Structure 1
Amino acid sequence: MRGIQVNQYVKGPKELQVTELPDPVPRPDQYLIEVHAAATNFFDILQIQGKYQNQPPFPWVAGAEFSGVVLAVPSASSAANPPRFPVGSRVFGASQGAYATRVCVAEPELLAVPAGWSFADAAGLFVTAPTSYGALALRARLRAGEWVLVHAAAGGVGLAAVQVAKALGATVIATAGTPRKLEVARAFGADHVVDYGDPAWPERVRALTPGGRGVDVVYDPVGLVDRSTKCVAWNGRILVVGFAAGSIEKVAMNKVLLKNISIVGIHWGAYARFERETIPVVWEGIGQLIAQGKFRGTVFTDREFVGLESVADALLALGGRETWGKVVVKIPQSGESRL
């Protein structure tokens, strides 16, 4: 196969190289997948630099999110324990080694590509959709008629959150940092958009809500909790999704007390360890939204990335905050002309 193998940590994506590698050998519980598209994530950039919390032993193939076709089912399968996905199934998921033409993955990390979805759309679904659905539907218990503020709304999890919030009946205020990203957030359903480069954004957000009372729920993957307390309503909930701004902030807790605010964390990746029974519930909810036409793929379309050789450029664009949605690299197989 061809892939991007990391033999030593690099300074950045430009140092990554595509090479010929031996085909991966699946464990008895793993499928062998032919990769047709791979999604990029910020943690991919950290991992190749040796800065991520999960660092595999050298050598390892970079990348995590992918979509593709099942080439072989687990050897441990049997008539009594048949594989969920037969050979030829269109699937998406996450496993170390997605920046390659083939990858091995266990069944719990695989799902069927939704009907009518392209490989490119499905490649970026596995991380963003359940994070946002789990945050809003389960952790915040969002109700129809409530107001939601989504920060970094043009990002991968942000666009997912905008769509989930709208599907659940909320009015959505989206923040982003450029006119193009604000435009994208509105195109995916945001009712109002606010540039969070404006120092007065909390006041602008609050002014949009009925009677200036503030929003009921804040979805924050950036690290804007403290300032968001200025525009959250009484009994409001603030979802801590991540710290894309680069630092873990400190919050003035008196504000939390005075407004009866709930600050709620969401660590989707930890559900597999602590609350595995919730995972199918979340995916069932997402599946229903997709079937109803209320959730669509969020692939960045302002620029196209095709072939493993373009992974470095895709990661650089992602890291440079030049993109919106999910940056996906298409990986043509066997002379394919389209995905």
Structure 2
Amino acid sequence: MKAVVIEQFVSNFEDLKPRDAPLPSSKKSSDIQIKVTHASLTHVDMLYAQGLHQNNKRHVKPPFVLGTEFAGIVISSPSNKFAPGDRVFGGGLGSYAESICVDEGIVRRVPGLWSNAEACAVGVSGAVSYGSLISVARLKRGETVLVLGASGGLGVMAIQIAKAVGAKVIALVGDKEKSRIMKELGADEAVSYRQRNWEEEVRALTDDGEGVHVVYDAIGAIESALKCLRYRGRIVIVGFAARGGKMEEVRANRILLKSAMVHGYRYGEDGRRDPRRTEEVWSGFLNLVEAGGIRPIIFQGNYMGLESIPRAFGDLKMHKVWGRAVLRINEDVEATKEAARL
């Protein structure tokens, strides 16, 4: 099969080229074989390729196949949970390849109203955002939430989930076009991080001017989040996409002065330590999907084939992408399976 294999970390994305690689093999009795039709293009993948992610110091070391989220068609399954030909999506290292082998516990069926591309665009972002806002931050109807990194794959899910529970949403974005898109998606207000003292504008947009109840931080901006937060507010950290692998140093007295709750949400580790929590998160999120409250947002870049990864990463780096960029790998396989069902 073809795959993007990281033999050594790269400094130039143009060095990411597909090559022949062995088919992935099962390591556990619960592993499932999947033909990849689509893969997400994320900031995490960019950091992994460069060796700048915190996981590169631990378990994501060369050689490895790049890519962390996918949708595809089941080839073989160890149980009757899935059957060959089922459309599935999930997360797992090695998605920038024609095939992937992962534990069937991290795979979900593609909802009937979604294509594989749409399911891939949502990926685990829906579950991460639901777990962050609902399970951790306990966001309630009538509260105001600030979404940092609103136009990204995580952010567009957070906006929709927050609106579904009746919260007011302020989206932090980079330009007027993304502001327009986020408002169309449901955000009540949008603020540009390019303007000076944008935190003051966020506070001014809250009903009493005291600040937001919850900050959803997918970019790594805790100091700014604290400025936007009201007394006894809550911050939930889900990522550091904007920091290029360099972690923020936070002045702890700011947390004390606001009596703030700052909570990290590590979705993957939560699932490893307590699978029941992950199942509860997925159940809650998929209930919103079935109710029609969630819309997949695919960036309209034509990323066809593994060869287009450098161009896609360039677009991500230049902040051109909104929603989720999706790589199309074996898209014709999905069409064939759909035709066989009709």
CA distance in 2, matches of 1:279, 1:335: 30
Within 5 Å, give how 1:1-339 maps onto structure 2: 1-27=1-27, 28-52=29-53, 53-54=55-56, 55-56=59-60, 58-74=62-78, 82-246=79-243, 247-301=246-300, 303-333=301-331
CA distance in 2, matches of 1:22, 1:265: 37
Residue type at the aligned position of 1:260: S
Residue type at the aligned position of 1:5: V
Aligned to 2:72, what secondary structure does the other structure show?
Answer: strand
Residue type at the aligned position of 1:33: I
Q: CA deviation at 1:333?
A: 5.0
Q: CA deviation at 1:180?
A: 1.9
Q: CA deviation at 1:337?
A: 7.3
TM-score w.r.t. the length of structure 1 is: 0.91
Deviations 1:82-115 (A, max 9, x none): 3311111100012222111111111112111112
Q: CA deviation at 1:26?
A: 2.8
Deviations 1:10-38 (A, max 9, x none): 22321122223333333432111111101
Deviations 1:215-254 (A, max 9, x none): 1111112232222323322221112222233243333444
CA distance in 1, matches of 2:52, 2:247: 16
Deviates more, 1:42-51 or 1:282-291: 42-51
Relative to 1, partners in 2 of residues 1:244 and 1:59: Cα closer, same or farther, differing over 3 Å?
A: closer
Tell me if structure 2 keeps the 8 A contact 1:181–1:324: yes
Tell me if structure 2 keeps the 8 A contact 1:31–1:72: yes
CA distance in 1, matches of 2:253, 2:6: 47
Q: CA deviation at 1:320?
A: 2.8
Larger proportion of helix: 2
Deviations 1:150-198 (A, max 9, x none): 1111011111111111111100011111112212211211000111111
Deviates more, 1:48-57 or 1:138-147: 48-57
Q: Please, which runs of 5 or more residues in structure 2 have no aligned partner?
A: none
Residue type at the aligned position of 2:13: P
Tell me if structure 1 keeps the 8 A contact 2:231–2:258: yes
CA distance in 2, matches of 1:121, 1:9: 30
Relative to 1, partners in 2 of residues 1:233 and 1:13: Cα closer, same or farther, differing over 3 Å?
A: same
Deviations 1:100-158 (A, max 9, x none): 11111111121111121111111133331122111100111011110111111101111
Aligned to 2:36, what secondary structure does the other structure show?
Answer: strand
The number of equivalent residue pairs is 331
RMSD: 2.1
Residue type at the aligned position of 2:12: G
Deviates more, 1:280-289 or 1:265-274: 265-274
Residue type at the aligned position of 2:255: V
Tell me if structure 1 keeps the 8 A contact 2:44–2:241: no
Q: CA deviation at 1:43?
A: 2.2
Aligned to 1:230, what secondary structure does the other structure show?
Answer: helix
